[in-house]
Amino acid sequence: MPHRTPHPPSTEDCSIQRTLDVIGDRWTLLILRDVFRGVRRFSQIQHDLGIAKNLLTDRLGSLVEAGVVERVPYQERPVRHEYRLTEKGRALSPALLALMRWGDAWCSDDGAPTELVHDECGTRLELQPWCTSCNHAVAPTQISSRPGPGRHHPEVSADAAS
Amino acid sequence: MPHRTPHPPSTEDCSIQRTLDVIGDRWTLLILRDVFRGVRRFSQIQHDLGIAKNLLTDRLGSLVEAGVVERVPYQERPVRHEYRLTEKGRALSPALLALMRWGDAWCSDDGAPTELVHDECGTRLELQPWCTSCNHAVAPTQISSRPGPGRHHPEVSADAAS
DNA sequence: CGAGTCGGTTGCGATTCGCAACCAACCCCC
DNA sequence: GGGGGTTGGTTGCGAATCGCAACCGACTCG
């Protein structure tokens, strides 16, 4: 259980903060990437990532506790478990894709960035927020949040970086 | 300069890995969130986040070195600098939004998840990968990557978690 | 019985973090 | 021209975390 500072001193806790409290660890997103890919068993993940076993135990425990993955038996005699994504965990897919896309586009060793494409039609996917009724990409400045009951988070605007 | 293990033992470095090498730190994404919001000066960020100054110095240095932000003077006499997003940094916007969205939807303290909406028309934004030619959301299984020259990354599929 | 696998737990040295103190450059003000 | 304030750091040090290796219990197979 990697505890953060009990109260991040001045910033009110925003969505990013809460998200990072769950997955903002050096290993956690890599573990989740493996689980997304179908690498679900302790030893598989451990071998694939090269993570220390005690850390993997710890991170998987946190993820289970957070409800991102669940520990289900995949065989009896001997009973063995695997870790599966919950609904909450599957909901991370867009974020993981966006991070992957960014790494491809901006951190590739060879110069050429790769693209994500839609298998069926070969269209390049941008992963921009896309408005289904206006049918075009939505700039970060045109996005706001609609809180359930009176809460809002700080605006994140790329154009504020002018 | 927070060094990772020199060679992440068995996993070949994938896009997620490379991305996390740049922003996979407990503080870095929070720093970037601030910069996106327009909080660009050292002392502002430091105060807003409550991060230790030596760590902030270190993280900002890494981000500058990675080309995610740049350090530009915003006044002479005395010369003072601020940190601005580069093109590369602005490209993180979809990822940041996706993470924020997830935190809103799944980690809110009060029960009701907030939604992202398009200002102009009020449409709820899902941040799913959206195919502009098919005009519908693209499931993770239908996404593949088109590498520039011979490289590919592992498929990330939410449905593999069946 | 002995060896092997899976999924951990325990101990310990090395790294990193968080905090507080200090500092250099520059400003303003008297 | 000395005192005080702000900005953007640097340095030192104790505490928490990490990474590695060793060990372990349950179980299976030969």
Reported as a single tens digit per residue, the pLDDT across A67-97 is 999 999 988 778 899 999 999 999 999 999 9
Kindly list the structural domains of chain B, giving each domain's residue range(s) and its CATH number in brackets, ordered by start: 15-89 (1.10.10.10)
User: Is B18 in contact with A103 (Cβ distance < 8 A)?
Assistant: yes
Quick one: pLDDT at residue A135? 74
Whether B152 has a pLDDT exceeding 80, the answer reads: no
If you measure CA to C1', which residue is closest to nucleotide D28?
A: A78
Q: Is the CB of B54 under 7 A from strand D?
A: yes
Residue in B closest to A52 by C-alpha = B9
Whether B151 has a pLDDT exceeding 60, the answer reads: no
Quick one: pLDDT at residue B136? 75
A20-24, A128-132, A146-150, B118-122, range with the lowest pLDDT? A146-150
Cβ-contact B37, B48 below 8 angstroms: no
Interface test with A, best of B49, B62, B99 (most A CBs within 10 A): B99
Percent with pLDDT over 90 in chain B: 49
Reported as a single tens digit per residue, the pLDDT across A29-70 is 999 999 999 999 999 999 999 999 999 999 999 999 999 999
Helix (H, G, I), strand (E, B) or coil at B84: strand
Mean pLDDT over each residue of chain B, to the nearest integer: 80
> What is the spatial distance between Cα A136 and Cα A144, in angstroms, rounded to a whole number?
16
Contact list, A43 vs chain B (CB under 8 Å) = none
Reported as a single tens digit per residue, the pLDDT across A137-150 is 777 677 776 655 43
Quick one: pLDDT at residue A141? 72
HSE (CB half, 13 Å, CA atoms) of B109? 11
Instruction: Name residues 29-68 of chain B with a Cβ under 7 Å from nucleic strand C.
Output: 50-55, 58
Give the burial string for A102-121 (b: 16+ CB within 10 Å, else e): bbbbbbbeeeebbbbbbeee
- Over residues B123-142, the mean pLDDT reads 73
- Of residues A98 and A121, more confidence is placed in A98
User: Is A100 in contact with B156 (Cβ distance < 8 A)?
Assistant: yes
